[in-house]
Chains A and B, each alone.
Chain A
Amino acid sequence: MKTKAMTEQLELFGCIQCGKCTGGCPVARKTVLNIRSMIYHMLVEPELEVNAHEELWDCTCCFTCVERCPKDVKPAELIIGLRGQLVESGRIPETIGTALMGIFRQGNPNGMAREDRAAWVNGAQVESAQEGCEVLYHVGCIPAYDLRVQPVASALVRTLTAAGLDFGTLGTEESCCGNEVRRMGEVGLFEMLVEENGELIRSVGASRLVTTSPHCLNTFKNEYGLDDIEVLHYTQLVAELIEQGKLDFGNTGVWGEGVTKKVTYHDPCFLGKQNHIFDEPRAILQAIPGVELVEMDRNRERSLCCEGGGGRMWAEGTNLEERLAFQRVHEAAETGAEILAVACPFCLLTLEDAVKVQGLDEADRNGRTLQVMDIMELVNLALGEE
């Protein structure tokens, strides 16, 4: 295994071993993963024995380390690079292999049939982007196939239609964006996706590309080189529509006249930390009648990762028992919120699981429950009965 070249390629020499990366790493507190120490090894030892570091698969690619590094070293990129070497030698967790194979064969990590990709639409009117449109809506694999997340996509379609936007989707031709593929170290497959998806997206001629998932947003915006196309997360687009007065949420609270509920918001890592979109999701929540936005102590730049990124949706990591999502839902409950709002399909799934496992969906002493909802589901409520 050649790790030496990586030291130069990633400019690890900039590292001053300050410890802010491992210090801020949410996973380092529950497994032996220590990226600071790994960088040190790369700097002073000629080679790193990658196979001995099973914990490389623990990283969620939340990029807190990258955000904190005072020397512009990108610690998480080292993990991605080392994973790449494991991928090359085939030494990867079986579930990761299955996800990658699913993407290669069917264009989605769940290995679901490509022809079922548009089934989520369920009779609704969604234009085909191939006919030409201003806004291309990239639905994403999880919202397209996962029953829990499909309503998020439907709610966005309803909202964009209500605002009179000219938009469309790629239907069954849409494929995985590859954001997690790159982070799992499968560079070859990622490059193939960038080429194929990039060509298809450009051929539509849309001026804007909107995504359900912050993960898709991240790679389209930062890694695809779609220079002429403005890549947006749905929270940015919906906040803009609210600002322009194109959405009518009425004056009645979404839970009925005079009923307010405390809602707290969890910043997804790929939306907040990595793309600095903090205000738009909050602006949407504050525009919804009946919502009282309350903040967790750890918000915005200090949001706690839900452990769903970087391929972790398909690999448990080395510490199955302690989950960051468990900790996070308790933090949400402590605010007194009844609803934990999210803006990411992965966060929606991991946090909802955690709420159930931790029993927070059952009434506490004060008769209060915690429910995880995507912001789009709240917007859907605000738009009233269809």
Chain B
Amino acid sequence: MESQPRIGVYICHCGVNIAATVDVEQVAEFAATLPGVVVSRDYLYMCSDPGQGLIQQDIEEQGLNRVVVASCSPRMHEPTFRGAAQQVGLNPYRLEMANIREQCSWVHADRERATEKAKELVASVVAKAALLEPLEEREVGVTPGAVVVGGGIAGMVAALDLADAGFPVYLVEKSDYLGGRVAELNRTFPTLESVAELLGPLVERVQSHSNITVLLNSQVTGVEGYVGNFEVQISDTQSSVSNVQSGAIIIATGYDVFDPHRKPELGYGQYPNVITSLEMEQRLAEGDLTLNGHAPKSVAFIQCVGSRDAQVGNEYCSRVCCMYTAKQSHQVRELLPEADVTVFYIDVRTFGKGAEEFYDEARAKGVRYRKGNISEIHRCKRSDRGNGSDRVVLVGEDTLLGQPIDFEADLVVLAVGMESRADVTDLSTLLKLPRSTDGFFLEIHPKLRPVDTAVDGVFLAGCCQGPKDIPDTVAQAKAAAASALIPLLRGVVPVISETAVVDSEMCAGCGMCVEVCPYGAPALDSLWNVSRINAVLCKGCGACAVTCPSKAIRLQHFTSEQILAQVDALVGD
């Protein structure tokens, strides 16, 4: 081993976050007595520029070759401190953090005992630090191209941005047409713009773009590889299979429409004049709302069908129903100026640009809004009122009047919400993509990383991540494309250095590491019958290292020696 460890220890006050509960001066004094420690300090904010400067100064002036920062969680500032160390020539893997905030000061009240615990945590990390080895920062090259799954508006927009940036894109669509759910719509809110005029030119551009290969009637059936170098297996309905190399993958698989048969009390499927909002789009597109040749005199809309409803397991708001109902009610007023149009709602949510104004306009046009959602629907007793339509009765309460109501309608539109696709598990399993409790794909951070997933190089766009309207879908699609362009444009991707390595001399070729690895990183070398770990695929989880019966695998930066030293420092006398 190279020269003796010269360790610097830095105890952070984090303002009062740590210092109010932990006696930081005492911890610093204690740390100075630990083996290998040549300097120990405490400071108000270690992550501040002067704080980082302190560390850098000591590395240079005192010749430190190891650094321990005792502060917040490494998830917060490890990159900060590693960067600072690297700037002055210390290998970043020679820096280790002790978490004395989340795991100490924030969760304890007794100052004396918290201080003792902080000392033990610091001692344990110092013991590990003495054994830290420098690791190499590595990068791999990227395949210049992308696969976009889903040919709806999200997938098309994302594909166009990637293609315009000069990368070849495979756009994989399950059905036999482009446009997805949007293609089933008639007009958009709040501008009443024609969907055909919106979608037509977009589809045209996608189909004629020299960088885009559209694969209709096709599905992704296998994914191998890693960020920068995926191998995507695509199968079409004729069962012909092709493999495509891809640097990034964008998932834009959309949503399912809630099936109102699951709310039997609303009589969908039983009464022909109770229809879904999507069926209403079709009728509006045809411009014909007549039933058995008669124009309806009373049209009712029921909000939140299959949304905000724990009974059907959908606790979320579908975010579009309030506005599309305002839009459809608008259109009904235009088509049938004589008809009563009534919307039954729980809350009206109009958060988009121009949305509240559009809702105002609907009411001004005579659309009646009644607070109180409908509990059930029956056939109207006086069903034939001379107009030939089978009237139904909407049974509910007008909550503002505080009165139960029996409201008669000729046409009822159920504002059905969005659900994660029934086949979502296929893709979720293929790509090991986590989903949130609502069933939609899970972004890695709801605010700061809204299009990234737990799988590097796989990004989300549109309603597969959660219900949203067209503007939000398009915005997210463009964000996903921009994120996918980072590795594509850089041409290389960094890979973690804390990977597992095999000592071939020790390896017996039993293959247990191959079985246990969730990322497919180890493989048996058939010639030598030893395991080889693909460092690009390895995520450093350590499963192989603890499984290996020959102890031939070691996880760098978490070696047995390092961990045992930590344990000894904690439980030894």
B-binding residues in A (CB < 8 A): 16-25, 28-29, 34, 36-37, 64, 67-72, 297-298, 300-302
Instruction: Kindly provide the distance from the CB of A361 to the nearest chain B CB, expressed in whole angstroms.
Output: 22
Other-chain residue from B264, B347, B378 in contact with A300 (beta carbon distance below 8 A): B264
Residues of B within 8 A of A302 (CB): 264-265, 267, 376, 378
Residues of A within 8 A of B398 (CB): 19
Asked if B379 contacts A297 (CB within 8 A), the reply is: yes
Known: A19-B372, A19-B398, A68-B265. 7 other contacts (CB 8 A): A18-B304, A19-B371, A22-B404, A24-B395, A34-B397, A36-B397, A64-B375
Asked if A20 contacts B402 (CB within 8 A), the reply is: no
Residues of B within 8 A of A16 (CB): 308, 346-347
Interface size on B, residues (CB 8 A): 26
* Max count, chain B CB within 10 A of own CB: residue among A19, A22, A29: A19
Chain A residue nearest to B346 (CB atoms) is: A18
Asked if B311 contacts A22 (CB within 8 A), the reply is: no
Residues of B within 8 A of A36 (CB): 397, 399
Asked if A301 contacts B373 (CB within 8 A), the reply is: no
In the complex, A68→B309 CA distance in Å?
9
Say whether, besides A16-B346, A300-B264, A302-B265, A24 and B373 are in contact (CB < 8 Å).
no
Asked if A70 contacts B378 (CB within 8 A), the reply is: no
Asked if A18 contacts B264 (CB within 8 A), the reply is: no
Instruction: Kindly provide the distance from the CB of A296 to the nearest chain B CB, expressed in whole angstroms.
Output: 10
The 10 closest A-B pairs by CB, nearest first: A24-B375, A23-B396, A19-B372, A23-B375, A19-B397, A23-B397, A70-B309, A19-B399, A22-B397, A18-B346
Residues of B within 8 A of A24 (CB): 265, 375-376, 395-396
Residues of A within 8 A of B310 (CB): 70-72
A-B contact pairs, 24 of them (CB 8 A): A16-B347, A17-B346, A17-B399, A18-B304, A19-B371, A19-B375, A19-B397, A20-B375, A20-B396, A22-B397, A22-B404, A23-B373, A23-B374, A23-B397, A24-B265, A28-B404, A68-B265, A71-B310, A72-B310, A72-B311, A297-B379, A301-B376, A302-B267, A302-B378
Other-chain residue from B308, B311, B395 in contact with A23 (beta carbon distance below 8 A): B395
Within 8 A of A (CB), among B379-438: 379, 395-399, 402, 404-405
Residues of B within 8 A of A301 (CB): 264-265, 376
Residues of A within 8 A of B347 (CB): 16
Residues of A within 8 A of B379 (CB): 297
Instruction: Kindly provide the distance from the CB of A43 to the nearest chain B CB, expressed in whole angstroms.
Output: 13
Residues of B within 8 A of A68 (CB): 265, 311, 375-376
Chain A residue nearest to B399 (CB atoms) is: A19
In the complex, A126→B235 CA distance in Å?
66
Asked if B378 contacts A297 (CB within 8 A), the reply is: yes
In the complex, A19→B396 CA distance in Å?
7
Residues of A within 8 A of B375 (CB): 19-21, 23-24, 64, 68
In the complex, A69→B373 CA distance in Å?
11
Instruction: Kindly provide the distance from the CB of B415 to the nearest chain A CB, expressed in whole angstroms.
Output: 14
Asked if A25 contacts B373 (CB within 8 A), the reply is: no
A-binding residues in B (CB < 8 A): 264-265, 267, 304, 308-311, 346-347, 371-376, 378-379, 395-399, 402, 404-405
Say whether, besides A18-B373, A22-B404, A298 and B399 are in contact (CB < 8 Å).
no
Chain B residue nearest to A32 (CB atoms) is: B402
Instruction: Kindly provide the distance from the CB of B266 to the nearest chain A CB, expressed in whole angstroms.
Output: 9
Asked if A23 contacts B304 (CB within 8 A), the reply is: no
In the complex, A297→B371 CA distance in Å?
26
In the complex, A342→B355 CA distance in Å?
51
Asked if B311 contacts A69 (CB within 8 A), the reply is: yes
Other-chain residue from A17, A29, A70 in contact with B404 (beta carbon distance below 8 A): A29
In the complex, A301→B404 CA distance in Å?
19
Other-chain residue from A21, A70, A298 in contact with B308 (beta carbon distance below 8 A): A70
Say whether, besides A19-B397, A19-B399, A22-B404, A70 and B376 are in contact (CB < 8 Å).
no
Chain B residue nearest to A331 (CB atoms) is: B381
Instruction: Kindly provide the distance from the CB of B508 to the nearest chain A CB, expressed in whole angstroms.
Output: 50
In the complex, A28→B311 CA distance in Å?
22
In the complex, A24→B398 CA distance in Å?
12
Say whether, besides A70-B308, A302-B264, A20 and B373 are in contact (CB < 8 Å).
yes
In the complex, A64→B346 CA distance in Å?
19
In the complex, A279→B347 CA distance in Å?
36
Residues of B within 8 A of A72 (CB): 310-311
Other-chain residue from B311, B402, B404 in contact with A25 (beta carbon distance below 8 A): B404
Residues of A within 8 A of B264 (CB): 300-302
Instruction: Kindly provide the distance from the CB of A324 to the nearest chain B CB, expressed in whole angstroms.
Output: 13
Chain A residue nearest to B303 (CB atoms) is: A18
Instruction: Kindly provide the distance from the CB of A320 to the nearest chain B CB, expressed in whole angstroms.
Output: 19
In the complex, A166→B264 CA distance in Å?
39
In the complex, A123→B552 CA distance in Å?
83
Chain B residue nearest to A28 (CB atoms) is: B404
In the complex, A153→B209 CA distance in Å?
77
Residues of B within 8 A of A69 (CB): 311
Say whether, besides A22-B404, A70-B311, A298 and B373 are in contact (CB < 8 Å).
no
In the complex, A36→B264 CA distance in Å?
22
Asked if A70 contacts B397 (CB within 8 A), the reply is: no
Other-chain residue from A28, A64, A297, A300 in contact with B397 (beta carbon distance below 8 A): A28
Chain B residue nearest to A273 (CB atoms) is: B265
In the complex, A34→B399 CA distance in Å?
10
Chain B residue nearest to A29 (CB atoms) is: B404
Instruction: Kindly provide the distance from the CB of A334 to the nearest chain B CB, expressed in whole angstroms.
Output: 8
Asked if A18 contacts B372 (CB within 8 A), the reply is: yes
In the complex, A202→B445 CA distance in Å?
53
Chain B residue nearest to A68 (CB atoms) is: B375
Residues of B within 8 A of A300 (CB): 264
Instruction: Kindly provide the distance from the CB of B565 to the nearest chain A CB, expressed in whole angstroms.
Output: 50
* Max count, chain B CB within 10 A of own CB: residue among A23, A72, A301: A23
In the complex, A19→B264 CA distance in Å?
18
Residues of A within 8 A of B399 (CB): 17-19, 22, 36
Asked if B378 contacts A23 (CB within 8 A), the reply is: no
In the complex, A36→B372 CA distance in Å?
10
Chain B residue nearest to A70 (CB atoms) is: B309
Asked if A70 contacts B304 (CB within 8 A), the reply is: yes
Asked if A298 contacts B378 (CB within 8 A), the reply is: yes
Residues of A within 8 A of B346 (CB): 16-19
In the complex, A297→B378 CA distance in Å?
7
Asked if A19 contacts B265 (CB within 8 A), the reply is: no
Instruction: Kindly provide the distance from the CB of B312 to the nearest chain A CB, expressed in whole angstroms.
Output: 8
Instruction: Kindly provide the distance from the CB of A177 to the nearest chain B CB, expressed in whole angstroms.
Output: 27
Residues of A within 8 A of B374 (CB): 20, 23
